[in-house]
Structure 1
Amino acid sequence: MSLLSIPRSAGKHSKAALAGFVLLIVFSCTSLQFSKLGGVLLRDTADIGVEHVQPLSLYVEVGKLSTSAMVDIFSDSDEEIKISVPSDWTLREVRNTPAKDITSDEPTFGFSRWHLPAHSGVSFYAFNGPESILLHNPSGVQMKVNLVTVEIEAETVDRNVILVTDSSVTLY
């Protein structure tokens, strides 16, 4: 018997296996659309993680135009904080500190982890701007987020203050 000759029973099983595989892919993609991780994989939601030790007041300003966005993040804390953003976001500007003091770790799993000194901020350009941002606070210490969202084409500005404890919240 050669490798090219497949028994009839294998043909039936391979059709069932193929059908099962297709269903698995369909259900996986469908469930990813509703999961937090799915936003990262499908790029309609951007995840941002913030690491800090003390209670934190964070300022986040998002300007959206068409499919791109500028995301400004400023920390009012006395401590260095770390933020993880999608690795395809480009650092645009640094505030209240020399540019050499803003460092980043090697991108991992599609994210870049930036180290922000006390009372400093950064601005990122997201060419493929997200439809929404999910902010994660794994530190277990409260964080107040002062959010400003600007829709340039719609000429609207929304302001919101969100208290985040040890969970994740959708900013917009």
Structure 2
Amino acid sequence: MLVTFYSRTGSTEKLALAAAVGAVQGRALIRLRRLPDLDAPRTLEEFPDHRETLQRMHREYVAPAEADILRADALILAAPPGFSASSAEWAGYLDMLGRLASSGALTGKVAAVVETGDESTLRSFSARLSEIGLAVVPSASLDARALGYKVAAAAGKDQKASPID
């Protein structure tokens, strides 16, 4: 399972980590990836109270690669409140998903979006994943850990035999 997130303050990182823990509890192997800042020095300037957190995330995480997506049975996305699927930080990643889906490389994969407290963010990303052609596991107000577990279970099912509830 690939858990991809973007975080500037560490809050969304914590939710992504919780989803990853749930996935591990569901017996999934995970890869945790952070989308890079478009302009890292500027981001550090804009969030001076979170400088240490940002610098740590820059050291600890790599960006998701096509190989990460192809190896994963499921994808979990975590975006900060106020972001949408058209946000510049997410554009390249979502475009890569679309390209891979159009070639058939994502057939059978499931995806989910971590609830970060902003309904419009959740709807935007869920809709984009559906447009791409992924089976979206609804968050149904689950906390991030429970969602990770649910996605791990859904990824283990034969998607054609059993719809996602």
Higher fraction of helix: 2
Q: Name the one with the larger strand percent.
A: 1
Highest relative contact order (Cα 8 Å, sep 6+), 1 or 2? Answer: 2
TM-score tier after normalising by the smaller chain length: under 0.3
TM-score, with length taken from structure 1: 0.25
Larger radius of gyration: 1
